[in-house]
Structure 1
Amino acid sequence: MHYILPMEPVKRILLLHKESPQPANAACALQSWLESRGVSSEVLCASADPVELRASAAASDAVLVLGGDGTLIGAARLLSDIRTPLVGMNYGRVGFLTELPALEKGDWESPLADIVEGRWHRESHLTLRWQIRRREGEGWITLREGTAINDVVTAHGVVARAVSLDLSINGTLFSSLRCDGLIVSTPLGSTAYTASAGGPLTMPSMNAQIVTPICPFAGGFPPLALPSYSSIRIESRRVDDQVLLSVDGHDNLPLEYGDVLEIHGLEDQLHMLVGDPDWYLRRLVDRGIVTSGPGHRHGR
């Protein structure tokens, strides 16, 4: 269930910066600013030991991620089950998921003070749990598994060559496709690869899994929205296909003939801090993902 709740005042915060001098220096400056307001903090690089990162996040009231969307998504993937709320400070390009501007841009002090004083909201989001499974003897073994914040993509590993995939939903074979690939995304990730492939922009509150075929040659269907609890199964069906699995734009894991990718949604796993409950709609416009027609400029 998706929900928005008031947050508590922040007493301890983890400052997590991407591996770059500018956000690292900003994190140190923020540490002094927080200390002057009675808030303890710890500064860690996003590439630090995952065990240390998780322990520090679990002991904190919030995690401020200094980086772009990629850094924030990577932190969310690592920390999602801990449920300490995350908020981003934009040291990337688009910064669709980041709430605060970089220190050098100004206008960060007032919203950060509101966060510290507990005046923002805590918003929960759906994540995806995935597993690659392979038949061994009379049973199945799990080769790899993990969590996705944006999307799980199965696509060809060779340029301009389609792949054959069977898509089953809740145990029912839904489609046998010859296509460039399949995207299963969260609502939060619907503005990424899903939107580029013609999928719908989806409000994060919907708790849906969105399945979008990529350039289907046969067996295609319109983008499909499924309840979070749906069980999705994707199987590679041709011996000579080179199918790769990408998670949030990373990893590129091989999916061999007969391997099965299983995906299901997990509600209430990722918590983020938001100052505006309508941030998603506003940011679609502010970041240029949705553009207004010429009449809007003239008030028509």
Structure 2
Amino acid sequence: MAPITRLLILHKDHPQPEAMGQALVPWLRARGVDASLLPSGADSITMRAEAAASDAVLVLGGDGTMVGVARRLAGIRTPLAGMNFGRVGFLAGLPADGWERPLTDMLAGRWELERHLTLRWRILRRDADSFVTRDEGVAINDVVTAHGVVARAVSLSLHIDGVHFSTLRCDGVIVSTPLGSTAYTASAGGPLTIPSMNAQLVTPICPFAGGFPPIALPASSRIRMEACRQGDQVLLSVDGQENFPLDVGDVLEIRGVPDQLHMLVSDPNWYLRRLIDRGIVTSGPGRKENL
């Protein structure tokens, strides 16, 4: 990674990260870095233009802010880094306290660039003898198809690469990226997956008819789901931040798109270490060793 000379800072709409952003701008400019500051909720046209003109984007907030920014900037390929102001901070490599040394290393180009897959999704609705796109977008972590009412099951027909894989009666189905495997997928018993892998993870949620073990698919696989029972109130949830209704007869299509999200990391083994540090993986009894 080359040294960073222009940095876009995006802050969550909260006093603490906003104050940090305002303090960082003069600190960066004193070190020869052209810095600009925007709220993470700025309009997409401005944000994408500023990101495209920058060497990197620093996001001040929690994991939700990081995911929301990444979704809005998907495809720009300007690398993202995060400073954690949230509870878990799984995606953020910079601490809110003691950030000076790691940020200096990042600006000097001593961090590594990682490339990650995102999910492209679209909802198709029948129009006469064809289908038209009703909604479409990008997911960084996952897309979840589930009932709009808590503790109600839905019936979903699942096709993979043109093969009718299963018709499920379940609480829902999660399709996740490797980067998002530590979120809802892991809670539902899906596999933890190294983020740099180009894979899509499909995990049924509490199936009691038509269930299958979680399955990992290539990025190129075409996943198709349909709500197939009248009366089910089915919602598509994107990264837990956006919701779209899925009516009977609508078709949800999902595919993986590699190399759409770039991230800067200080440690190539950050994922494995953070699984342990954040308590997602817990150590059993016995001696701990650094291998």
| TM-score grouping bracket, smaller chain normalisation | over 0.9
The CA RMSD over aligned residues, in Å, is: 1.1
**Residue of structure 2 equivalent to 1:214:** 205
Please name the residue that 2:3 is paired with.
9
Match of 1:253 in 2: 244
Distance 2:55 2:288 in 1: 43
- Assess, with a 3 A threshold, how the Cα gap between structure 1 residues 80 and 298 changes in structure 2: closer, same or farther: closer
Q: What is the CA distance between 1:298 and its match in structure 2?
A: 9.9
Q: Could you report, residue by residue, the CA deviation over 1:228-279 in whole angstroms, capped at 9, with x for unpaired residues?
A: 0000000000111110000000222110001110000000000000111110
User: Are residue 30 (structure 1) and residue 30 (structure 2) matched?
Assistant: no
Counterpart Cα distance in 1 of 2:120 and 2:19: 35
C-alpha contact (below 8 Å) 2:116/2:197 kept by paired residues:
no
2:44 counterpart of 1:71 = no
Question: How many residue pairs are counted as aligned between the two chains?
Answer: 290
Deviation of residue 288 (structure 1)?
0.7
Could you list the runs of 5+ residues in structure 1 that have no partner in the other structure?
1-6
Corresponding residue of 1:41? 35
Matches within 5 A, 1:56-95: 56-95=50-89
Query: Against the structure 1 CA distance between its residues 298 and 145, is the aligned structure 2 distance closer, same or farther, given a 3 Å change threshold?
Result: closer
Q: 1:298 to 1:57 in 2, by over 3 A?
A: closer
Task: Name the residue aligned to 1:3.
Answer: none
Shift of 1:217: 1.0
Aligned to 1:277: 268
User: Shift of residue 295 of structure 1?
Assistant: 1.8
Contact 2:140–2:180 (Cα < 8 Å) also in 1: yes
Q: Matched residue of 2:110: which SS?
A: coil
Letter paired with 1:22: Q
2:281 paired residue number? 290
Paired AA for residue 81 in structure 1: G
What is the one-letter code of the residue matched to 2:241?
A: H
Moved more, 290-299 or 76-85: 290-299
TM alignment of 1:89-108, pairs within 5 A: 89-102=83-96, 105-106=97-98, 108=99
| In structure 2, distance between residues paired with 1:126 and 1:177 | 27
Letter in 1 for 2:149: V
Q: Say which structure is richer in helix.
A: 1
**One-letter code aligned to 2:105:** D
Question: Deviations along 1:164-213, whole A, 9 cap, x unmatched?
Answer: 00000001100000000000000000000000000010111221100000
d(CA) in 1 for partners of 2:150 and 2:272? Answer: 35
Q: Give the match's secondary structure for 1:37.
A: coil
1:229 and 2:220 aligned = yes
Is the 8 Å Cα contact of residues 59 and 81 (structure 2) preserved in structure 1?
yes
Deviations along 1:142-183, one digit per CA (max 9) or x if unpaired, are: 010000000000001122221100000001100000000000
User: Is structure 2 residue 175 aligned with structure 1 residue 184?
Assistant: yes
Alpha-carbon distance, 1:110 to partner: 1.0
Distance 1:76 1:244 in 2: 22
Structure 1: distance between partners of 2:289 and 2:266: 30
Distance (whole Å) between structure 2 residues aligned to residue 202 and residue 149 of structure 1: 14
Deviations 1:122-145 (A, max 9, x none): 110000000000110111110100
Looking at structure 2, the residues matched to 28 and 19 of structure 1 have their Cα atoms a distance apart, in angstroms, of 13
Among 228, 231, 235, the residue aligned to 1:244: 235
Name whichever of 198-207 and 89-98 sits farther off.
Answer: 198-207
2:211 corresponds to which letter in structure 1? G
Which amino acid is 1:174 matched to? F
- Matches of 2:156 and 2:117, distance apart in 1: 25
Displacement of 1:296 in angstroms is 3.5
The two structures have a TM-score, normalised by structure 1, of 0.95
Which whole-Å CA distance do the structure 2 matches of 1:205 and 1:63 have between them?
A: 19
* Contact preservation (8 Å) 2:117, 2:261: yes
In the other structure, the counterpart of 2:112 is 121
**Counterpart Cα distance in 2 of 1:48 and 1:264:** 28
